[in-house]
Structure 1
């Protein structure tokens, strides 16, 4: 049975894992098994036999490096470049698959350096929204995006610590194409892109179109257990902020769902989609409230 796997090892944010699993299951046909995969299973390598795509969710890039550098990244690169598989990186997963990361320079959270996968030959630089805090929504925003496609569209998507993508040569190299740009940032830098990687492809997105607004409900709904290297969201005084974001994202539900489908299409999953772009999002997906 073909499957799509969401990494849930050290560094993967629990909310990002769970929301990715939810939105993948809503978008893909029942004939595709969607499940999470721990680091031990990834490092064993047998997952590659029936896998269509590996999803690296949001969270923290440094623990990914600590666990997967070397053997793990060799397995991922072989799956994509040699077997023709797909890699979908969201936020931290997108930083991780870029040749270089520059995260929160000059702050106590600063992370900078080369990365092994280097599916995108350039720098993932963020946060694009000031004020990022691992434990809250303080630096989160519904950022305006210009989305590519047969007809260019505008939407707002959830951003919390995510990057913009800056090609080394100033322009995207052959084999890479823009999927979305930050509409209100100087130079409209890349927010999402797809890159050919050998026989396969990598799709990287700095925002979170997979995150349905209900994941931003009252603080207690976000206070999922901490994963290694990723503090839990604590809620605190974030309720008003979370509800404001929830309403803003809900107003753009159809466009955000189309962006999610665009990413999956770009990852080569078009034949496995249960729904098509241009239709309404799944019932309840764009609304608030608890899971």
Structure 2
């Protein structure tokens, strides 16, 4: 199922879409789709879900799909999972069989046990954690260390990842918040891999403008690194 075994012109990515992922709430689906299309992979993106072109189950049964992306969303993670409980089996099977899962903000929370059960550990709320650089769930620009380099990223009530001790050594931590908690990570899952990110590397300038935040430039390069690592081109060879 990995992209390098796909003989088509471009690998295909599926991005989830429902009323809570936009466009009325900033269009998280559209922003994540645009980020994926702009990576070196040049993904052909299809949407799946209540506002998508097809169902998640149907989309993930296609042999040309290599990546499933779960974007940010309005509401809490329990509500989001109830909307997608029927998709859990298809998502887990897709990743277990060698597919890639990308979860941003809400997509990170949904990867934890009790929801999609992809991440070996917890995903907790960052803004209420000790030493967090923000203390509300309002949109903000947060400082992170991405591979040791200070960067500023768009953030709105995203999570931080707490892996189980025995699972940590198999993971690649890409970014940390200023309190030392994990902001972005790539981890194995069955024959596939997952990438989780609390802040939004896909955030377009309009999100900053609408929230009255200073726009410090594109973070597409961080999204590129996240996807490259997920797909096996950083910190290891394609498998």
TM-score by length of 1: 0.66
Larger Rg: 1
Q: Residue 181 of structure 1 corresponds to which residue in structure 2?
A: 176
Length, aligned pairs only:
211
3-state secondary structure, aligned to 2:195: strand
C-alpha deviations, 1:96-133, integer Å up to 9, x for none? 0022xxxxxxxxxxxxxx32x2222211111423222x
Q: Is the 8 A contact 2:35 2:220 kept in 1?
A: no
Change (3 A) 1:13 1:98: farther
3-state secondary structure, aligned to 1:161: coil
Higher RCO (CA 8 Å, separation ≥ 6 residues): 1
Q: How far did residue 258 of structure 1 move?
A: 2.1
Give the Cα–Cα distance (whole angstroms) in 2 for the partners of residues 89 and 73 of structure 1. 14
Q: Residue 18 of structure 1 corresponds to which residue in structure 2?
A: 30
Give the Cα–Cα distance (whole angstroms) in 2 for the partners of residues 127 and 153 of structure 1. 20
Instruction: Note if 1:34 corresponds to 2:82.
Output: no
C-alpha deviations, 1:203-248, integer Å up to 9, x for none? 000000111223332x4xxxxxxxxxxxxxxxxxxxxxx33x233x
* CA RMSD of superposed structures (Å): 2.3
Unaligned runs of 5+ in 2: 1-7, 128-133, 235-239
Give the Cα–Cα distance (whole angstroms) in 1 for the partners of residues 41 and 120 of structure 2. 32
Give the Cα–Cα distance (whole angstroms) in 1 for the partners of residues 58 and 47 of structure 2. 15
Unaligned runs of 5+ in 1: 100-113, 133-138, 220-241, 272-291
Q: Is the 8 A contact 2:68 2:100 kept in 1?
A: yes
Q: Residue 89 of structure 1 corresponds to which residue in structure 2?
A: 103
Q: Residue 13 of structure 2 corresponds to which residue in structure 1?
A: 4
Change (3 A) 1:269 1:212: farther
C-alpha deviations, 1:146-191, integer Å up to 9, x for none? 112xxx311011110001112233x7534222110002x2xx0000
